[in-house]
Each structure stands twice: as structure tokens, then as C-alpha cells.
Amino acid sequence: MESIPYAELSRRLHERLLAQRIPLEATFEVSRRCPLACQHCYNNLPMNDHAARRRELSLDEYRRIFDEIAEAGTLWVLFTGGEIFARRDFLDIYTEARRRGFIITLFTNGTLLTPRIADYLAEWRPFAIEITLYGHTRETYERLTRVPGSYDRCHQGIRLLLERRLPLKLKTVGTTITRDEIFAMRDFAESLGVPFKFDSMINPRVDCSQSPLEVRLTPEEVVELDLRDPRRMTAWRDLNDRYRTAAVAPYVSNTVYDCGGGVGSFAVNPYGEMSICVLSQVDTYDLRQGSFREGWEQFLRRVRLQTRTRPAKCTSCEIRLMCTSCAAVNELENGDKEAAVDFFCRTNHLRAYLLGLDLKPNPLCEYRPGSERYEDIQASVAALRARAQELGVELTFQSRRALPVLQARPVVAEPTP
């Protein structure tokens, strides 16, 4: 029998099955209630929001949905929130998913973990558990979460999982509050022997409130964090090669959505509404009123095939593959799926210029040669290069070739009449 690494298995499955539009990956927000009140969060509600609890899917509804997605070919399941353990019956939901053979990842803040929960997870192990840190020090952590005592509860949860040798990963989000402690959190994770990652891409709330943006870093600050971690810069340098070989790579097309959402993945919110991803809250299908197959084959297919109504700079952008923006983010921040968010565009261009990529003029893009903000962004790039020199970071990317421009190609079949 052939033995292959997990990453290779995943790549092969994606390559073989995405062309058939099999819904391989599911994300379930089991609750938007959370014991924390983080300033940057896009979807948290108070734990005592009884109206929200009453709307959440029942265990029987999860059983029916799990049966349907298993039949459709779903293999990977991510449970997230809010906080997953805000639901007292979460382990029952988890068990139902385990019984169907899904490969399960859990996102949690760790503050509601107990010895009983940790023991259960040790017996019925998930594929991965990711805990988000909100600061290295108690002061920073609880300044962002706005809940006294949350720091100690999080670290207790980490200890419970480590004691049981569960597959733990730690991560954080770069904000104006946490940025000075990101690398201390990284060192803490490494001292525990667990992987660590961070992201600084903050979105508005799913109700379109812009309040999380109050703690969002500037694009220049986001890229400076990259410079402060040589491994991260190496990862950006290698992004081109990774995307060229990844089966789930974004692709350039004339559709509004150009990610893998609705092609090989989907999301279900706590109230049974299915969408392309957790950030997409306008185009939803009610799984309480219809089957998963109907929602996937008909509704999400139509959503995924929405075409752009006007020329957009993103469609011809050769560094689009590096960008973390998308139609759902555009909708949350600009109220328009086709209107790119400047924060993401500027951040992506700063990285590209630091990597030495040769970007062609684009009359629709203000950051390209000859455009109105080109000189401005070049001044920022120069400042970042000077900062890199101060940090002792060697930028040796000038000789690397530019990112390839992928040709538009159909991804899903035409909608059925």
C-alpha cells in the first residue's frame, strides 16, 4: 500500500475533485455567542443573547445536514464561532460529525475549556485545534477582549490541551492593541512546541458595522510586521510557487467571486443559512427550508456564477493571487461586491513592490506606474526598505520573476435552466 504525506493527499484530492465541483470543505459557525467581547471581532454576540440561542440549529438539524453533506462528498469540517463551546451541547454536535468520518478542525478562544471537554477530545481526537491569543500579557489580552479573567482562562485551556497531547496550534491577530506583543506570542508558542501564525486582515462586522476597523493597522504597519519575521518574508517570497501548484488556487475570471467558495467549499451560519463563506451574508440559502443538495447544486452555483457588471482593476491584476480581499469583504466594507477595498489593495501592492515584482501599468489601479498614487506608495516602499535595513532584513527578491498571469477559465458548469 502506498503511503503519502497528508499534504500530498489533500492536494491530490483537491486536484481530482474540485473540477467536479464537489463540496469538499465545510465551515460551520455553531454560535455567534461568545464569552469575550473582542474589539476586532466580526461576529460576536453576548453569551446571554437568548434570542440568538433560540435561533441556532438544533442537534437534530445538524444530524440531517451532516448526513446530506457526507453524501455530497464533504471531507473536511471546520467548527468555529463566536465561541464553539458557548453551546453546551457542542460535544454532541462534534460527536455526530466524528461519527460521519469528517476530518475536523476546531477554532476556539480556549476560555471555556474544562477538564471534561479536554478528556473527551483526547478520546475522540480532532484533526487540529486552533486557539487564538489576544495578547502576550494579561493587560493587553484583556484590553482587547474587554473581559477580566479571560487571560487566565485561556491559558488554563491551553494547559488542558497540552497535558493531553492534543494537536494544538496557536495564532493571533495583529491590531493596534496587540502588534507590539505578536512576536512574544510567537516565542511563547515555540516554547510550548506548537505551531503559530498571525494575520492582520480585519474586516467589518457581518452586520456591516465598521467598529472593528478602529483597531486595524495601516497597510504599512501590516507589511512592517512581515519584515520583522524573516520566515514570513520567505513565505511571501515563495507564495508564487505555492499558488502555481495549489489545487485550490484563486483564479482570474470575470465572476464576482474568484475564490474557491461555492466551488469546493461552503459555510453554514448558526441559523442554518448556507453561503459561500462566513463573511458572505447577503446571498444565503436556508437549509431549514430546503436540502443541502438543492442549495449547493442550484443556489450556490448561481451565486458563484455572478459576473461582474463593470470593469474592475482586480480582474487584470497579476498579483491578485496574493491578495486576501474578496467579494464578501468588499460587500462588508464598501457595500459593493465589485468595489475593491483600498486597505487590501495597498497592502498587497506594498508587498509586491518589496518583493521586487515588475507590475505593469493598469489604468484602473491607482498604485501602478503612471497612476495617481504611484509616487505615494513608492515613498512608503522606500520607507519600508529603510526599516528593513534597520531590522537587518535582507530583501533579495529583486531577481525573482513576476507572478504569472493565469488565464480565465471556467470553473463550474453553467447553471441549470
Q: Specify the pLDDT at position 31.
A: 98
Residue 329, pLDDT > 70, answer: yes
CA-based nearest residue to 110, from 181, 48, 169, 165: 169
Burial of 182 (0-12, 13-18, 19+ CB in 10 A): buried
Same domain flag for 213 and 270:
yes
- Rounded Cα gap, residues 16 and 34, in angstroms: 38
Read off the CATH number of the domain in which 297 is found. Answer: 3.20.20.70
More confidently predicted of 247 and 21: 21
- Whether residues 236 and 131 share a domain: the answer is no
* Mean predicted confidence (pLDDT) in 297-304: 95
- Please give the average per-residue pLDDT across 183-207, as a whole number: 95
Shared domain for 100 and 230, answered yes or no, is no
Confidence (pLDDT) at 188: 98
One domain for residues 198 and 125 = yes
Q: Does residue 399 fall inside a structural domain?
A: no
The answer on 244 and 173 residing in a single domain is no
Q: Which residues contact 417 (CB under 8 A, 6 or more apart)?
A: none
Query: What is the pLDDT confidence band of residue 220, given thresholds at 50, 70 and 90?
Result: very high
Residue 27 in grid coordinates: 465551515
Q: Both 223 and 371 in a single domain?
A: yes
Does 417 reside within a domain?
A: no
Domain presence at residue 413: no
Average pLDDT over residues 315-320: 82
Do 266 and 318 share a domain, yes or no? no
Please give the pLDDT value at position 413: 39
pLDDT at 7: 84
- pTM of this prediction? 0.89
Asked if residue 46 belongs to a domain, the reply is: yes
Same domain for 233 and 270? no
Residues 244 and 365 in one domain: yes
Residues 319 and 386 in one domain: yes
In this structure, the answer to whether residues 339 and 213 fall within a common structural domain is no
Q: Are 283 and 295 found together in one domain?
A: yes
pLDDT bracket for residue 287 (50, 70, 90):
very high
Residue 79 has pLDDT above 80, yes or no: yes
Q: Which pLDDT does position 224 carry in this prediction?
A: 94
List, in order, residues 6 or more apart from 128 with CB less than 8 Å away.
105, 106, 167, 169
Cα–chain-centroid distance for residue 97? 22
Q: Give the up-direction half-sphere exposure of residue 248: CA atoms within 13 A in the CB hemisphere.
A: 17
Name the residue among 366, 345, 83 with its Cα closest to residue 201: 345
Residue 412 lies in a domain: no
* Residue 33's pLDDT band (cuts 50, 70, 90): very high
Residue 267 phi, psi dihedral angles, 5° rounding: -135, 150
Domain extent for 135: 19-217+260-304
| Count of structural domains within the chain | 2
Report for 3-17, 280-294, 301-315: range of highest mean pLDDT: 280-294
Report which of 172, 253, 161, 246 is spatially closest to residue 215, judged by C-alpha positions. Answer: 172
Would you state the pLDDT for residue 392?
85
Residue 40 pLDDT > 90, yes or no?
A: yes
What's the CA gap between 44 and 83, in Å, rounded?
8
pLDDT of residue 253: 64
Question: What integer is the mean pLDDT of 249-276?
Answer: 85
Residue 317 φ then ψ, to 5°: -85, 120
Q: What is the pLDDT of residue 259?
A: 84
| Residue 406 forms part of a structural domain | no
The answer, yes or no, to whether residue 406 has pLDDT greater than 90, is no
Work out the average pLDDT over 27-33: 98
Give the pLDDT confidence score for residue 394 in this predicted structure: 78
Average pLDDT over every residue of 385-407: 65
